[in-house]
Structure 1
């Protein structure tokens, strides 16, 4: 690869002059000299060293994003939104997959700090783990003290700005819809028990049950991993335990699609015999058969808002900025009146 010194020799100038032109220094440079240097860069196909540029500039150009798994449609949509805004602002995005491993998230924060990223965005549910939360907050505070910015999406009790989807309300709307359709015996496919998102969505379902003078018994809740395979497994367990269930509420769309596949394999029609509802409104929710009744969260917009917060300095007392994001019920074909 060509070096800065190679460009300087070809252009007949000093390496310092080449550096000023390439790095956008505010010091004035004659236009003819600038054109000569840029022509040498083009001829040699010189690519500046990003780390060297970072040392030469006070401007940080990279945003680090930690997600559970970018192949999950939930995080793919969030990432799509945040990359759009980052690209519009000339920022590079580094995406790290933690696979719901808290220790790995802590390691990624350290690595991103070492790369001097402009901001760190933590996307996805937090954990019911006070020790982890305290340790993560300690690392984020150190990072913020060096000028970095932090934003969390869908997490509780972390330092920095936050984009907070109303998961509790979404769970409540899901339950209210099933009760309105006459369902009194329905099963729930929840996410991992240690995730705060699971707790929030279940809390909404339980609030809806209380308003109808009912309760959501533990035996009608099966826990999955927010993926299709665990949705199938959980749906089978619920139906085997209580064959008279009239509906299944899955707390994300991937698990709902797994439930649809399990019902189809058993010859159970949806929604005539069993209704199925999901959560998040993934793009595929309107393509499956039957189309999926679900709770819509504006996932791409959540990612976009997180980057916007990261790039806009706070005003006033620097108190954390909280952006609340609403949940909306989307009615489609998979939910119908409870069978008699």
Structure 2
């Protein structure tokens, strides 16, 4: 049974007109304490979610909400393209929100919650969370999306989530990282450092776990594990810190660590395993700022195989995820209640010049 605005007003101890002004966005809002009471009552009673449920019971809106971390990141733009392609086939339009907004006053968790609430207010038929999930979901986000799901909405997350009732699309992050590290070990690499990304993000943690598992299987340990933001600047900063930890200040300090001119493309040197491609590209910029050659002095590998890699030289060794396919699968799962969430997503190791491959393998 749906909750009426009169019930919210009664719970908050205010008039119906006051409750309406607070919840319907009127310019004439009451004092902050009264507005907070009304919002708390609406949340407790599930007023917004049940209004959405009434709309879902009548008809579909033909809208899908997609939450990404950084709209400019090629990883997310490729996924978004796949989501849009599958949604259009089902006569749906995609609403897009990014959580990495420069100058935002709220945390990323708050930005994701705001995006989800906006999509709920637009009565979208489904919401897709493409940003890497946190180890522990924001309880406010879980509560809001839990009510949305209970009232007929569908939520799909890329990666495991504890949001009640949400579907999750498993990505081969740990398996792919292990396969990539194993392939590099097979190529003769023995000295690795990991640019780990943000440890609170499941994607970064799982990839680091895959890297370290493959190294341990070969009797190796990383010489450094350095966290950083999941972007180019994060890769740049983490690389400079990593070089300091391992004692490489610049080109003159690489003797005995990397291969010299004419040697075997640095197979005996330091190989940086970055948790994603944009971090790896930032790492390459940092290495050049220290006059270090790639791959002769230091080698670099990333993860994802984002579409823009074709514009970079040397070619980046990476693990290829089928990003557009992932987006399509997420949209199909969100819009087809009968579809199973156990779709197998396979990736591929791609060896290129940045880690010493004479000829690209898997490209």
- The question of a shared fold, defined as TM-score above 0.5 by the shorter chain, is answered with yes
Q: Match of 1:322?
A: 342
Q: Match of 2:238?
A: 234
2:356 is equivalent to residue 336 of structure 1: yes
Q: Where has structure 1 moved over 4 Å in runs of 4 or more? A: 54-57
Q: Is the contact between residue 125 and residue 155 of structure 1 (CA under 8 Å) also seen in structure 2?
A: no
Q: Is the contact between residue 280 and residue 302 of structure 2 (CA under 8 Å) also seen in structure 1?
A: yes
| 1:181-210 Cα shifts (integer Å, max 9, x gaps) | 222222111211110111100110111011
Q: Match of 1:128?
A: 135
Q: Is the contact between residue 190 and residue 223 of structure 1 (CA under 8 Å) also seen in structure 2?
A: yes
Q: 2:120 aligns with which of 76, 96, 113?
A: 113
Matched ranges for 1:35-74 at <5 A: 58-74=59-75
| 1: CA distance, partners of 2:331 / 2:200 | 27
Please list every run of 5 or more consecutive structure 1 residues that lacks an aligned counterpart in the other structure.
1-50
Provide the secondary structure at the position in 1 that maps to 2:170: strand
| 2: CA distance, partners of 1:275 / 1:216 | 14
Please list every run of 5 or more consecutive structure 2 residues that lacks an aligned counterpart in the other structure.
1-51, 101-106, 249-256, 258-268, 358-363
Q: Match of 2:14?
A: none
Q: 2:228 aligns with which of 210, 224, 233?
A: 224
| 1:264-305 Cα shifts (integer Å, max 9, x gaps) | 232222112211111000112232110111000111111111
Q: Is the contact between residue 181 and residue 214 of structure 2 (CA under 8 Å) also seen in structure 1?
A: yes
Aligned residues: 277
Provide the secondary structure at the position in 2 that maps to 1:280: coil
Q: Match of 1:160?
A: 166
- Once the two structures are TM-superposed, the CA of residue 211 in structure 1 deviates from its matched residue by 0.6
Greater C-alpha Rg? 1
- TM-score of the two chains, using structure 2 as the length reference: 0.71
| 2: CA distance, partners of 1:227 / 1:56 | 42
- TM-score of the two chains, using structure 1 as the length reference: 0.76
Change (3 A) 1:184 1:116: same
| 1: CA distance, partners of 2:333 / 2:135 | 26
Q: Match of 2:295?
A: 271
Change (3 A) 1:109 1:81: same
| 1: CA distance, partners of 2:205 / 2:290 | 30
| 1: CA distance, partners of 2:216 / 2:234 | 28
| 1:78-129 Cα shifts (integer Å, max 9, x gaps) | 1011011112222111111122711222232222112111001111211122
- Once the two structures are TM-superposed, the CA of residue 165 in structure 1 deviates from its matched residue by 1.1
